[in-house]
């Protein structure tokens, strides 16, 4: 197991190295000069050249890449061109906001999606199963930004129950924070909730046909114990894989949700930085998201062994 973990960590580092090169090259090879974008139509050529020199953008690409990577390894992510602020500080401000919204939506998706999937599997063929399946399909099919606009129209403009936009830290004002976060959290959870429900249902259906489930029932175990103790545990592996993939939302935020609800998280930072060609920010955010996803998936692989003791890595 230890060998497996070490090997996977090395693989992960290798992946991150490649990600860093790819994102660096993409951002630098795209047409357009971030300094011209930042200074606008009216900047003089001299102003543009001075700022480019100040930011080190006049150096050859390999040197720029080496400088960036060296600084990243030292924990310094560099300075944002557009925000005139260190990227470390920017991420320190944005990450908790995306994490707050992402984590609550993640938990909501698990709390509703998994039980819904179990119920649909257990009540297979019933109207409950049909309702859950159709709702889950709709949840996956309907675009989040459209639901966002619909939600604002209904709950804010028509009913006046929820604010249109904004973000407040729960530490500054807990109730205001909850009030503002309800719509983004629910909408952000919808996609994962629907996938989880569908995945749990199909995994459970596969498992409950197995002989050992029949044996468990024959032993006289209650249906609750059979479903939760025997079937669910064995059905969880694909579900956990899905959860691992959802980790990106926790740190990467959601572009649409953060845009529509005016949440200053990582997703919005990323989009604005891409449009502004703020190289350093885009590179850093992508690297952080990639790291979390890569290490998250490593954790998921390790978790398989705990969920199913039959799985052993060599």
Partner 1 sequence: MVARKQLALMLGLITCMIILAVGCTNKSASVNTGIEANASTENISADADHSVSGGTFTFAVSEDAIILGNPPTLMKQSDPNYAAPAVERLFRRDQQGEPEPYLAESYNIADDNLSITIELKQGIKFHDSSDFNAHVVKWNLDRYIATERAELAKVQSVEAAGDYTVKLHLKEFDGMLLQNLSGIPGMMVSQKSVEENGEAWAEMNPIGTGAYQFVSWDRDQRIVFKRFEGYWQGTPELDKLVIEVIVDPFAQKASFETGEIDAIMSLGPKDANELKQADKYNIEASDLASSVLGLLPDSAHSDSVYSNVKVRQAVWHAINFEAIAETMGYGYHEATFQLATEASTANNPNVKGYPYDPERAKALLKEAGYADGFATTLYAQNTPGYSDILTAVQAFLQEVGITAKVELVDQGKYFEMLTGGPEKGGWKNGLTIVPFTIVPNELGAYARLLGPGVSAARLPVVYNPDELQDFIGKASNEPDPAKAKSMIHDMQKVATDDYAAFFWIYATKNISATQPYVKGANFNAPQWTPEQIKLEE
By the 10 Å C-beta count (0-12 exposed, 13-18 middle, 19+ buried), 37 is classed as middle
269 binds partner 1 (CB under 8 A): yes
73 binds partner 1 (CB under 8 A): no
Backbone phi and psi for residue 32, each to the nearest 5 degrees, phi listed first: 110, 145
Question: Closest Cα partner for 311 from 242, 300, 245, 225?
Answer: 300
Minimum CB distance to partner 1, residue 49 (Å): 10
Minimum CB distance to partner 1, residue 126 (Å): 27
Choose the binding region for partner 1 from 71-79, 120-128, 151-159, 216-224 (rule: CB under 8 A): 151-159
Of residues 15, 37, 57, 128, which one binds partner 1 by CB under 8 A?
37
What residues numbered 13-32 form the site for partner 1, per CB under 8 A?
30-32
305 binds partner 1 (CB under 8 A): no
Cβ(84)–Cβ(38) below 8 Å: no
Taking the least distance from each CB to partner 1, the nearer of 17 and 174 is 174
Taking the least distance from each CB to partner 1, the nearer of 42 and 127 is 42
Strand partners, 79: 86
Taking the least distance from each CB to partner 1, the nearer of 133 and 180 is 180
229 binds partner 1 (CB under 8 A): yes
Of residues 56, 96, 115, 305, which one binds partner 1 by CB under 8 A?
96
Question: Closest Cα partner for 139 from 191, 189, 202?
Answer: 191
C-alpha 176 chain-centroid distance: 24
CA 285/CA 251 separation, integer angstroms: 9
**Binding marks (x or -) toward partner 1, 44..63, rule CB under 8 A?**
xxxx---x------------
Q: Which residue has the tokens 């998921």?
A: 300
CA 98/CA 256 separation, integer angstroms: 12
Question: Closest Cα partner for 24 from 53, 55, 66?
Answer: 66
Number of chain residues interacting with partner 1 (CB under 8 A): 61
CA 251/CA 291 separation, integer angstroms: 10
By the criterion CB under 8 A, which residues form the site for partner 1? 30-33, 36-42, 44-47, 51, 82-85, 90, 92-93, 95-97, 99-100, 103-104, 107, 149, 152-153, 156-157, 160, 163-167, 169-173, 176, 229, 233, 259-262, 264, 268-269, 272, 275-277
């Amino acid at each position: 197991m230890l060998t497996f973990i070490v090997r996977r960590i090395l693989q992960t580092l290798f992946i991150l190295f490649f990600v860093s090169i790819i994102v660096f090259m993409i951002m630098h090879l795209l047409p357009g000069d971030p300094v011209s974008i930042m200074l606008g139509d009216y900047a003089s050529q001299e102003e543009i050249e001075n700022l480019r020199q100040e930011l080190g953008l006049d150096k050859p690409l390999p040197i720029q890449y080496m400088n960036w990577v060296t600084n990243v390894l030292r924990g310094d992510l560099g300075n944002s061109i557009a925000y005139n602020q260190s990227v470390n500080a920017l991420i320190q401000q944005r990450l908790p906001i995306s994490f707050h919204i992402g984590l609550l939506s993640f938990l909501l998706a698990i709390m509703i999606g998994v039980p819904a999937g179990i119920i649909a599997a257990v009540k297979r063929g019933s109207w409950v199963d049909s309702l859950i399946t159709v709702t889950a399909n709709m949840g996956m099919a309907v675009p989040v930004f459209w639901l966002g606009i619909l939600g604002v129209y209904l709950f804010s403009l028509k009913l006046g129950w929820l604010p249109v936009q904004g973000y407040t830290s729960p530490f500054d004002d807990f109730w205001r924070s909850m009030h503002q976060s309800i719509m983004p959290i629910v909408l952000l959870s919808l996609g994962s909730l629907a996938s989880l429900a569908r995945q749990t249902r199909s995994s459970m259906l596969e498992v409950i046909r197995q002989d050992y489930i029949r044996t468990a029932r024959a032993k006289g175990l209650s249906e609750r114990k059979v479903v939760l103790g025997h079937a669910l545990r064995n059905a969880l592996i694909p579900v956990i894989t899905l959860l691992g993939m959802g980790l990106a939302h926790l740190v990467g935020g959601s572009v649409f949700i953060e845009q529509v609800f005016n949440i200053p998280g990582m997703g919005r930072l990323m989009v604005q930085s891409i449009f502004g060609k703020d190289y350093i920010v885009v590179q850093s955010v992508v690297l952080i998201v990639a790291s979390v996803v890569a290490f998250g998936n490593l954790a998921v692989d390790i978790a398989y062994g705990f969920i199913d003791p039959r799985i052993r890595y060599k």
